[in-house]
Amino acid sequence: MTVQWDITQAPRLKGQVAVVTGATGGLGYATAQGLLARGAEVILAGRNPAKGAAALERLRVACPDGTVDFMTLDLASLHSIADFTQNLSGRTGTVDILVNNAGIMGVPRRQETVDGFELQFGTNFLGPFALTARLRPLLCAGRNGARVVTVASLAALEGRLVFDDLQARHSYTPFGAYRQSKLADLILALELDRQARQHGWPIHSIAAHPGWAMTDIATSRSTSPQGLRERLLRRATRVAFTLMGQSAERGALPILFAATAPQARDGGYYGPDGWGERRGNVTEAVVPPAARDLQLAQRLWQVSERLTGTVLS
């Protein structure tokens, strides 16, 4: 299935509340702009209030009739996630669309979140897991069922879950940790779909990836490379993305498709249709075998509930 799809084909979203994490730039900003253009009330969730204010200003110029706001959320902090969900519950009774987009990539040296998790695994996966778990009452409160879109990556194809060392305390490589976190994200989306059907939750869980989208993720959260080899790798990555990738706006299309399109199926995974799924129109993406492993998913689910102190089952 490949479709020549853009946001103008999405249904109107008036009256719906959408939360987009990491929405002050890149894919998150493009996703938020698309949802806002279709009439959703959009909440930008991010760590940096100054970037949030700048994003709000740009969006209000682009969509002067839209309703958009910023709320502080640091996915590397379980305390921040709890505060965000409590504050959000005080202003809305439902969340109709949740886009788990925020993430970091290729942190050169192993770092930890405030809760002691390896930074990429904690930010890219455990944070979204805890956020989705805490928002489940609001997600289930909508009339037509909420959509939860988890943004994975082509890196998931080479990902491996190392349960004996999930926090990479014994062995850390920047992109090994990133691949693990994005495989975990894809498993989150597929297992959430199974859990929703098992428990009768009105939640539609769908995954998407942007292909090779030109964003600033590689330099976010002070991830400047250390050493000649890492600097050369980053430079080569930028050149490759420039030559064979696509814009953030094009990269956001599979995400927006998953968040809005009637033909997006529960438990689906969408990305670009070009060579290697790096760029192009929206299509069904390749799911790595590890993401379909039910025992692996159940084990990750149990570990994640224990680590985050949240229940999503």
Phi, psi angles (nearest 5°) of residue 186:
-65, -40
Q: How far apart are CA 253 and CA 210, in angstroms?
A: 8
Q: Which of 29, 172, 178, 269 is catalytic?
A: 178
Known catalytic residue at 269: no
Q: How far apart are CA 298 and CA 190, in angstroms?
A: 11
SS3 (DSSP) at 100: strand
Q: How far apart are CA 78 and CA 127, in angstroms?
A: 7
Which residues fall within 8 angstroms of residue 41, CB to CB, at 6 or more apart? 15, 16, 17, 18, 67, 68
Q: How far apart are CA 132 and CA 312, in angstroms?
A: 8
- What letter does residue 73 receive in the DSSP assignment? -
**Catalytic residue IDs:** 178
